[in-house]
Amino acid sequence: MSVRIHEMNPLPAALHEQELAGYEAAYRNHYQAWAEVLARNVEAIRRGSYSLHWMETGEARWGKRAKPSSRGMTYADINRIRGYGDLPEQATWFNFAPRGAVRDRYRDDMPVIGDYTVTDKNELWAENVITLYEEAKARKWNATRDIPWDEVEALPEDLEKATAQLCTFLTEVEFVAGDFPAKWLYRIPQDFLEVKSFLATQLMDEARHQEVFRKRALSCGGLLHAAPGFEWALAAILEAPTHTMGTFLLNVLGEGLVLSIFRSGEMIAKTHVDKEIFRRCLQDEARHVSYGVMELKSYIAGHPQREAAIEELHRFCDVGEQVILTAFTEPALIEPLAVLLGGGLKYIDQGMEGIRHVWTMFINEYLQRCECAGFDRRTRCTIPLEFPWGAAA
């Protein structure tokens, strides 16, 4: 008997027996503590008995009146209140109990979240993180509404394709720029709520960037080519071994490069729409770079084995800098950039001269940012200081 494929019954949707069994087993291990809390509470409800323990203020930092500043009520304003703004050097709370709440007496009844692994303040704090968080909220924009999409103009085919290819690259990059903070966000304990809040804004910024470049590409022909070179570079960022190393690679090195590309993008934009897109994006990117620099500075300055930590960072950079070399030698990036810088395919050679300038500028800025953080990379930099275009010709 022959059966046509489209007449066959569909396979049942995949089940998750193994995952569910693992979850059940894990929870059985914790079940006793949970069950005791639940039993106590159920019993009190059945007795019709109030506890009202939550009204006791003996252990609480109660009676405070936070005062807003002219901007409203910021984290900086509430952190001035004694006991609420003290960040631990090393987190010891691995659940969701808020910093400043009465929580010590409940410690043994609470779960421990094993994924909270970034426990050193040194590995995530930056002096400017609260300022940047407030700024990110205040300067947010909307890729649907704030770009004059009705003014998109058709460009000559070479410029149209170059714009679409640049947008394809930027969309690809923005995916990792969102995934990296997302990966680490949930590994950071709640006591570092200011950093978690800032990373949440970075995630939103990157979502908006991939959105705006995808929309721009689809408004001028569509997406063009993904590139293996980018993919390896982006994977190296996502898989960085520590939060500080990854933040250095993404925020200082990677976003530093993307900031240069956005600034170049604004300069070479052929329409007011593109100008607006790049100008909006470069503001967000500069915030991320700023966090990266200050986080690195804080890490180095506060490390108990400063010299050893710096040497470790150098080792990481020897690999990490290849990310930039990989991206900036990928034809799917530098060729469309050169076409846009030159003003057309037939001026691509002149455009390459422009890229030479952008390269030098980017490397100098990168080295200055490292220096500003207390990390002298000048003599150890593995990226050529000059753009190697045509060097072997």
State the residues that interact with other proteins by CB under 8 A. Answer: 70-71, 131, 134-135, 138-140, 259, 263-264, 266-267, 269-272, 275, 279-280, 282-283, 285-287, 289-290, 293-294, 357, 361, 365, 368-369, 372
Q: Is 332 or 373 the residue whose CB approaches other proteins more closely?
A: 373
Measured from the CB of residue 252, what is the shortest distance to other proteins in angstroms?
Answer: 10
Strand-pairing partners, residue 120, are 90
Q: Is 188 or 338 the residue whose CB approaches other proteins more closely?
A: 338
Q: Is 67 or 71 the residue whose CB approaches other proteins more closely?
A: 71
Measured from the CB of residue 334, what is the shortest distance to other proteins in angstroms?
Answer: 17
Measured from the CB of residue 65, what is the shortest distance to other proteins in angstroms?
Answer: 23
Measured from the CB of residue 147, what is the shortest distance to other proteins in angstroms?
Answer: 12
Q: Is 112 or 372 the residue whose CB approaches other proteins more closely?
A: 372
Query: 371-374 contacts: CB < 8 A, separation 24 or more?
Result: 372/293, 372/297, 373/252, 373/293, 373/294, 373/296, 373/297, 373/300, 374/296, 374/297, 374/300, 374/301
Q: Is 91 or 259 the residue whose CB approaches other proteins more closely?
A: 259
C-beta separation of 114 from 108 below 8 A: no
User: How many angstroms separate the Cα of 68 from the Cα of each of 65, 80, 384?
Assistant: 10, 11, 50
Measured from the CB of residue 259, what is the shortest distance to other proteins in angstroms?
Answer: 7
Measured from the CB of residue 366, what is the shortest distance to other proteins in angstroms?
Answer: 9
Q: Is 172 or 255 the residue whose CB approaches other proteins more closely?
A: 255
Q: Is 196 or 369 the residue whose CB approaches other proteins more closely?
A: 369
Q: Is 67 or 315 the residue whose CB approaches other proteins more closely?
A: 67
Measured from the CB of residue 52, what is the shortest distance to other proteins in angstroms?
Answer: 43
Q: Residue by residue, what is the 3-state secondary structure of the chain?
A: CCCCHHHCCCCCCCCCHHHHHHHHHHHHHHHHHHHHHHHHHHHHHHHCCCCCHHHCCCCCCCCCCCCCECCECCHHHHHCCCCCCCCCCECCCCCCCCCCCCCHHHHHHCCCCCCCCCCEHHHCCCCCHHHHHHHHHHCCCCCCCCCCHHHCCCCCHHHHHHHHHHHHHHHHHHHHHHHHHHHHHCCCCHHHHHHHHHHHHHHHHHHHHHHHHHHHHHCCCCCCCCCHHHHHHHHHHHCCCCHHHHHHHHHHHHHHHHHHHHHHHHHHCCCHHHHHHHHHHHHHHHHHHHHHHHHHHHHHHHCCCHHHHHHHHHHHHHHHHHHHHHHHCCHHHHHHHHHHHHCCHHHHHHHHHHHHHHHHHHHHHHHHHHHHCCCCCCCCCCCCCCCCCCCCC
Measured from the CB of residue 240, what is the shortest distance to other proteins in angstroms?
Answer: 22
Measured from the CB of residue 140, what is the shortest distance to other proteins in angstroms?
Answer: 7
Strand-pairing partners, residue 72, are 69
Q: Is 120 or 274 the residue whose CB approaches other proteins more closely?
A: 274
Q: Is 141 or 175 the residue whose CB approaches other proteins more closely?
A: 141
Measured from the CB of residue 179, what is the shortest distance to other proteins in angstroms?
Answer: 24
